[in-house]
Amino acid sequence: MMEGFKTMGSAADILTADIRAAKDLGYNTQEYLWVKTQVLGASSAAMMSKLAEATNASFDGAYAQMKKSYDEAKDDQTKKMYKEMLDNYDKQRAEMKKDSAATLSPAVAYNQQLIAKYDSALNALATEMSKWEENPGDAQKSMDEFQKGVDKAVADAKKSQ
């Protein structure tokens, strides 16, 4: 039971280490937490933006393939089926664009611009994740692999169009 309490204390120490450090340095801890929240929000939004970019590229590739099939269709029934599918794609694409434009607040966009002057927005998230990694550098490596994977998915989807 005592070991359990020690483990809980260690977890609490990790979670509050940055706050204690800010306090020890004489910084306003509430201000520190607010800034940290803003940076993590901008970083998370950057990650979601990357995922949306990959999704949109994939969606556009599928649309191009569907359009090609429509153009190559020989009979009216098949053309009608593909036309309905293309119409549904158009509706979904319009909804996706509307949703993606509405979700990013001007404050988050501005914070992303501020972060970009100093570092990649995704690195803020990697830095926060690094507090819980077993091996130093794993979080940054994971974030780099994520970014490369998304970039590759976007490039592959654009090639197939």
Q: CB under 8 Å to 14, separation ≥6 — which residues?
A: 131, 132
> Which structural domain, as residue segments, surrounds residue 76?
2-159
pLDDT at 87: 92
Asked whether 104 and 45 are in contact (CB, 8 A), the reply is yes
**CB burial of residue 121 (10 Å; 0-12, 13-18, 19+):** buried
pLDDT at 8: 46
**How many beta carbons lie within 10 A of that of residue 30, not counting itself?**
10
Between CA 76 and CA 80 the distance in angstroms is 6
At 112-157, the pLDDT tens digits run 888 877 766 667 777 777 776 777 788 778 878 877 888 887 787 7
Q: Over range 4-23, report the average pLDDT.
A: 64
Q: Over range 90-95, report the average pLDDT.
A: 86
Tokens of 62: 């599928």
In the chain, % of residues over pLDDT 90: 6
pTM: 0.59
Domain count, the chain: 1
pLDDT at 84: 92
Cα angle 118-100-115, degrees, rounded to a multiple of 5: 5
pLDDT at 26 over 50: yes
pLDDT at 15: 63
Between CA 151 and CA 141 the distance in angstroms is 15
Mean pLDDT of the chain: 79
Furthest-apart CA atoms within the chain: distance in Å: 76
Q: How many CA atoms lie within 13 A of 161 on its CB side?
A: 13
Higher pLDDT, 45 or 99: 45
